[in-house]
Structure 1
Amino acid sequence: MDTENNQFMNYNNPDKKMVIEDFFMKAVLGKGSFAKVILVKKKDNGKFYAIKVLKKSKLEKQRHIDNVIAERNILVGVNHPFVIQLHYSFQNSEKLYFVLEFCPGGELFNLLHKAQKFTEDQTRFYIAQIVLAIEHLHSLNIIYRDLKPENVMIDFDGYIRITDFGLSKNNISNHEKTYSVCGTPEYLAPEILTMQGHEKSADWWSLGALIYELLTGLPPFYNQNREVMYELIKNQNVNIPDYISPICKDLIYRLLQKNPENRLGKNGAFEIKNHPWLQDVDWEILLRKEYRPPFIPILDNIVANFPVDFTQQPIDSVDPFQSVKQLNQNNNIGGFTYNQSQNREMDFQ
C-alpha cells in the first residue's frame, strides 16, 4: 500500500540516483509491444507523471536498443508546447524508465472513439497543433514516422502532446532519404511501402490520413486484410465523403499524393499552414494556448480518460519494481540517464 506521508528518502542530494522507489504507483495507463505506461506520483514533490517502462530483456537486438537511445535523445533535445516533455530517465538491471509529463485527457484515439467522428472545427484545432509540432521536429531534422490518434495525448488544458518517438529518425536533413520500413500500417506513406526511400514529407502523408480519420472515424485506406490495405495505399485514390467541405477535401487530396514530390508540405510546413482550410488559424494564439479547446479533461477521476481495461488492472500485474539493491552496473545502457530538473545529462548510470 502507498504510504504517501512516509517520506523516507533523502531528496536533498542533487546527485542521488533516481530509482523506481522514488514514486508511488497509481494506475496502469497502457501497454504496448515493448513498453508499459504507469501513472505515478513522485514522493518528494507530489506531482503526477507517466512512467514508460521497458524491459531490457525485450530489447536484446541492438537495433531496439539504438531506437530507445534515439528516442531518449529526441525527447531531451525537443522543447515544444505540443511535444511531450521528458522529466527524467533512469534504469536498473532489468528495466529502462522514461518519466514523462502526464496528460490526463488521454489519447486522441479514445476521444475520437467516444465521439465516433469530429467536426471540421474540432479537427482543425487538433491538426493545427500537430502541424506546429511536426514543423518543429522537421526543423531539428527529425522525421516522426508514427503519427496516429494513439500517439496524440490531451493535456490538462485540452491541448495536445505528440508522444512516442520510438520509430522516429534523427539527423535527416532536408530532402535526405531514409530507407527503413517502419510505422503503423494504416498511416504508412506509399514510398515507405515501396521502399524507395522516404523524406520528411512522409509525415505529411500521415497528417492527411489523420485528418481523414478524425472526420470519418476510420483511416482513408483501412482494410482488415493488411496486404489489401497496402495495395490501396499504393494504388487507390482516396474517396472522401461528400459531407466534408471542398476546401478540406482539397487539403486531404494534396496531402495524400502518392508521389511525395507532388505532396503538400514537400517544401516545408508553410505550404500546409497557408492552405485555405487553415487560413483562419492564428498560430501565435495557438502557441500561447489561448483558444478554447473543444474538450477539457474533468479531473474528478484523474484516469477517467484512459481505458478501464488498463486502469482497473492491479498495479502488481505490471511488475514495475526492481529494487536499487539489485542494480547491476554491468547491464547498464550508456547515455540513457537524464534529469531535467538539473538540466544536465548524468553519466553515472
Structure 2
Amino acid sequence: MGFANNVGKYRLGRTIGEGTFAKVKLGVNSDNGQYVAMKIIDKQMVLKSDLKYQVQREIRTMKLLHHPNIVRIHEVIGTKTKIYIVMEYVAGGQLSDKLSYNRKFDECEARKMFQRLIDAVDYCHNKGVYHRDLKPDNLLLDSNGNLKVSDFGLSTLRKPNDLLTTACGSPCYVAPELLWNKGYHGAAADVWSCGVILFELLAGYLPFDDRNLLSLYKKISRAEYACPPWFTQSQRKLIARILEPNPRKRITILEIVEDAWFQIDYVTACEYESDQDIYLDDVNAAFDSVEEQGTETKVTKSPSFINAFQLIAMSQDLDLSGLFEEQDQKKQTKRLGSTHNINETIEKIEAAAADVRLSVERIKNSKIRMLPKQMMTRCSRSYFDLSAEVIEVAPTHCVVEISKSSGDLRMYNDFCESLSSLLSKSSGVLSQTQEESLEVHVTCKIDRGDGSSEELSCEDNEGLRGYASA
C-alpha cells in the first residue's frame, strides 16, 4: 500500500470515502505506525456554505468523548486551504454494510451490539451530548466486530432537561415527536432511534419503511409496525417499550439496562481515562488563516433556509398537520422549484410579474408582494393580495411559494404560468417524487451551542462510510 503525501507526521494513502466538502484518506502515523482515518476538509467550501459551526461543533464534541464504543479524534491540523481531522481508523466498515449481506443477526450478536450502542449513547447523554442521527450508517465495526458510534455532525450539547427544536435525522429512524414541530428531549429521541436499530438487527428490515413519506410518518407517529414471527416475547416487550410514540411514556436508557433480555451476558463498557489533555484551541485556529483572507468571499447567510422536515411539511400531500388540525382552504398556494440561486430566482419572479403587468413591492429580502399596475392606489390594495416567497434549499436550489388570498384568479394563474416557464426546465411544482428525493440532500438546522442556531443544507455523504458530516 503506497503512502505518498505527508501531513505533519502522517503519511496519506488511498481514499476510503468522499463527500461534498471532504474526503477521507487512510493514513499512518510515522512515529508509531498506527493507522488513522484522515478527514480532509476544504476550508473555502465550508465557509462559503456556512458550515463552519457544524464542523467546529463536531470536532469539539468528539474531543470531549472518550469511550471504547465511540470513534475518537486524535488531533486537528489546519493549513491555509485545508482542515485535517485525524481520527481513529475503524477497519470493519459500517454496520449497514454488514446488515446488507447478513440480513439479520442472531440474538446473541444483536444483543451484544445493542448493549454497546446503549453504553455509548448513555455515556454521551451523561456528557450532555445528544447524537440525533443514530442509524447503521453511522455505526462502525472494528476488526473484532466491536461497535463504534461516529458522525456527530448533527449532535448538540445541552443540559438534560433542555428542550430541542431542530427537526433533523434520517426519516426511517426519526422519533415521532420530531414530526410534531414542537420541542423534544434529545435523550428520548436517541432512545427511539436505538429501538429502530435493535428491530433492524433482529429482523433484517426496518420497522417503519415506506416510499411515500406521508405513509411513513403516519406509521411512525402511530408506531405501526409488525414483529416477525421469530421474535421472542422478551424482544417484543422491550421493543414495544422503546417504540412508544409518546416520549413521556417511552422507556429510558436506565430502564433498558435493567431489562432482563438486555442483561443477559451484559458487561458494562468502561469509559477511557483521558490519556491526554483536551485542547480545543486548535478547533478555532484551524479556521483562522482562511478567515483573514476570506473576508472578500464571505457569503451572506440566506434569510430564508429550510430543512427536509420543513420542506415536507410545506406539501399538502405530505403535511402531518392534517392528522391533528383542519387545513385552511381559503388561501391558494402554489409551489415551484428553481435550480437557480436565490438572487437569480428573485429576478425571475420580477420578470414574470412584468410579463403579466404586475408591479413588484419587496416586503423583505426573500418575499415579494405583487400588485396590478392599474390598482396601486392605497384603497385598492386590499382587493388583490398576491405574494411570492423564495426559500433556499441548497445554494442552487430554491422553492418559490406563491400565495393568493384575494383578487383575480386569472392574473394569479397567468403569473404562475409565466414564472414556471422562466425557471429551469427541471424545475416545476414539486412532485411527491421530488420531495422524497430532497430528504437525501437536505439535513438540518444547526445549534451553535451558545443559544443561537443556523439552518444548513448538507449533501448526503454516504461515501464517507461513517466518517461523514462535512
TM-score, normalising length: structure 1: 0.73
Cα distance, 1:203 vs structure 2: 0.3
> What residue ranges of structure 1 are gaps of 5+ in the alignment?
7-18, 289-326, 333-349
What number of residue pairs does the alignment pair up? 277
CA 238–215 in structure 1, closer or farther in 2 if over 3 Å, else same: same
State yes or no: 1:193 paired with 2:179: yes
State the partner residue of 1:85. Answer: 72
State the partner residue of 1:157. Answer: 144
Alpha-carbon distance in 1 for matches of 2:14, 2:200: 29
Cα distance, 1:328 vs structure 2: 4.9
State the partner residue of 1:73. Answer: 60
Residue number among 109, 114, 127 corresponding to 1:140 in the alignment: 127
Q: Which amino acid aligns with 2:175?
A: A
Which aligned pairs between 1:21-100 and structure 2 lie closer than 5 A? 22-60=9-47, 64-100=51-87
State the partner residue of 1:324. Answer: none
Cα distance, 1:21 vs structure 2: 5.7
State yes or no: 1:255 paired with 2:217: no
Cα distance, 1:24 vs structure 2: 2.7
Alpha-carbon distance in 2 for matches of 1:256, 1:100: 33
Cα distance, 1:232 vs structure 2: 1.9
> What residue ranges of structure 2 are gaps of 5+ in the alignment?
272-288, 295-470
1:222-261 Cα offsets, whole Å, 9 max, x none, are 1223343222212342211121111111111111111100
Alpha-carbon distance in 1 for matches of 2:19, 2:221: 28
State yes or no: 1:210 paired with 2:172: no
Cα distance, 1:63 vs structure 2: 5.7
State yes or no: 1:223 paired with 2:210: yes
- Runs (4+) off by over 4 Å: 1-4
Alpha-carbon distance in 2 for matches of 1:89, 1:74: 13
8 A contact 2:223–2:243 mirrored in 1: no
- Which region of structure 1 is more displaced relative to structure 2, 100-109 or 275-284? 275-284
1:8-64 Cα offsets, whole Å, 9 max, x none, are xxxxxxxxxxx7364333222223444322211223332210112222333236862
8 A contact 1:142–1:169 mirrored in 2: yes
Residue number among 92, 96, 121 corresponding to 1:105 in the alignment: 92
- Which region of structure 1 is more displaced relative to structure 2, 95-104 or 231-240? 231-240
8 A contact 1:93–1:331 mirrored in 2: no
Q: Which amino acid aligns with 1:245?
A: T
Q: Which amino acid aligns with 1:173?
A: K
Secondary structure of the 2:202 match is helix
8 A contact 2:55–2:153 mirrored in 1: yes
State yes or no: 1:281 paired with 2:265: yes
State the partner residue of 1:295. Answer: none
Alpha-carbon distance in 1 for matches of 2:165, 2:20: 23
Q: Which amino acid aligns with 2:60?
A: N
Higher relative contact order (CA 8 A, sep 6+): 1
Alpha-carbon distance in 1 for matches of 2:194, 2:53: 26
Alpha-carbon distance in 2 for matches of 1:212, 1:187: 11
Q: Which amino acid aligns with 2:140?
A: M
Q: Which amino acid aligns with 1:241?
A: P
Alpha-carbon distance in 2 for matches of 1:141, 1:214: 27
Secondary structure of the 1:106 match is coil
Secondary structure of the 1:27 match is strand
State the partner residue of 1:340. Answer: none
State the partner residue of 1:296. Answer: none
Secondary structure of the 1:83 match is coil
State yes or no: 1:126 paired with 2:113: yes
State the partner residue of 1:183. Answer: 169
CA 46–158 in structure 1, closer or farther in 2 if over 3 Å, else same: same
8 A contact 2:200–2:207 mirrored in 1: yes
Alpha-carbon distance in 2 for matches of 1:3, 1:211: 39
Q: Which amino acid aligns with 1:196?
A: K
Q: Which amino acid aligns with 2:258?
A: N
CA 329–178 in structure 1, closer or farther in 2 if over 3 Å, else same: closer
CA 164–3 in structure 1, closer or farther in 2 if over 3 Å, else same: closer
Alpha-carbon distance in 2 for matches of 1:222, 1:35: 30
8 A contact 2:223–2:244 mirrored in 1: no
8 A contact 2:115–2:266 mirrored in 1: no
Secondary structure of the 1:204 match is helix
8 A contact 1:2–1:24 mirrored in 2: no
Alpha-carbon distance in 1 for matches of 2:54, 2:220: 26
Alpha-carbon distance in 1 for matches of 2:125, 2:234: 25
TM-score, normalising length: structure 2: 0.55
Cα distance, 1:90 vs structure 2: 1.7
1:67-97 Cα offsets, whole Å, 9 max, x none, are 2111111111111111111101122233322
1:189-217 Cα offsets, whole Å, 9 max, x none, are 11112121221110000000001111222
Secondary structure of the 1:38 match is strand
Q: Which has the larger radius of gyration?
A: 2
Alpha-carbon distance in 2 for matches of 1:95, 1:127: 37
CA 33–260 in structure 1, closer or farther in 2 if over 3 Å, else same: farther
State the partner residue of 1:270. Answer: 254
State yes or no: 1:173 paired with 2:135: no
8 A contact 1:149–1:210 mirrored in 2: yes
